[in-house]
Chains A and B, each alone.
Chain A
């Protein structure tokens, strides 16, 4: 009974946090919802008797990774809240929802298809001990990690070293003169759009002036004065746009 209650509460915490991560407008709120999900996951780990991983979950994920996220958010500016109403690609949300729900439905069908979907033989070596105490879990994990998986463990050490070096190289500010910052891409786009509109307007105006001049030239005898006037205004507007 207690187990069911713990599972229900943790599942609610995890799923609400996950929905909050993807629905929050502000990245800071997303990070806080992520912490909520990670804490719920730590409690689930404890109920699955993975005590060491529950501690690591809190220390590494909530304590290091999310704080790193928050640092970067603060570094980039907290006011970058995203307008969730605009949809850059039409139908993207709908298709993403369909894909997500279909993935979930597929896994659900697989899992609920049989009474116990998990097949496989329990391992003889490295099996979980009968007395699952806190110390036992840590000892067993350590023994497995430093015997069977010691090469993978060394490889993760190399991976972390490479990641740290890469992060330092990427985040290093270039020495000496600062590089000229390219303008905001949105600004550039808007300017190009405005320039196109201006060019089109100028062209239409020139066409109108030309046709008016042609009309007046053919219809009336006093064509010269009108033509001069029309070309004069045309030049004026062109000069203004340029």
Chain B
């Protein structure tokens, strides 16, 4: 039995689904960010698996850019969480309705 790229893609799909479920059911913004990280990692895994299968370095380059974007996203998101938590005691996603029109 050989480990083909399909196996890695199935693992990636499972990880992505778990991240999506977590993003939908959790209410703590920090845990929601972690679930986004899980989903980004699943995408990274599929990029690397595709790159390995097609013998193309571009898959790994894409992962590099995804990493940078993920870092930027986490930095801004966590700054937002800190700024919000300074003004109100609870920071569950349900309570954050200040932008509601």
- Report A's interface with B, CB cutoff 8 A: 3-4, 7, 11, 14-15, 18-19, 21-22, 24, 27, 30-31, 34, 37-38, 41, 44-45, 48-50, 52-53, 56-57, 60-61, 64-65, 68-69, 72-73, 75-76, 80, 82, 88, 92-93, 95-97, 99-101, 103-104, 107-108, 111-112, 116-118, 120-123, 126-128, 137, 140-141, 144-145, 148-149, 152, 156, 159-160, 162-164, 166-168, 170-171, 173, 179, 181-187
Contacts and interface: CB of A to CB of B under 8 A. Distances in A.
B24 A182 contact: no
A48 B12 CA distance: 13
27 contacts: A3-B2, A15-B11, A18-B15, A21-B38, A30-B30, A41-B45, A44-B45, A53-B63, A57-B67, A60-B67, A68-B75, A69-B74, A69-B78, A76-B85, A88-B94, A97-B21, A104-B17, A111-B10, A121-B54, A166-B75, A167-B76, A167-B78, A170-B76, A170-B80, A171-B82, A182-B87, A186-B89
A163 B25 contact: no
A45 B13 contact: no
Contact of A4 (B3, B34, B72, B86): B3
Contacts of A48: 8, 48-49, 52
B57 to A, nearest CB: 5
Contacts of A11: 11
A101 B24 CA distance: 13
Interface string B45-71: 100111111111110110111011111
Chain B, interface size category, equals 35 or more
Closest 8 CB pairs of A and B: A22-B22, A96-B24, A100-B21, A163-B72, A107-B13, A104-B17, A170-B79, A167-B79
Interface in B1-41: 1-11, 13-22, 24-28, 30-31, 33-35, 37-38, 41
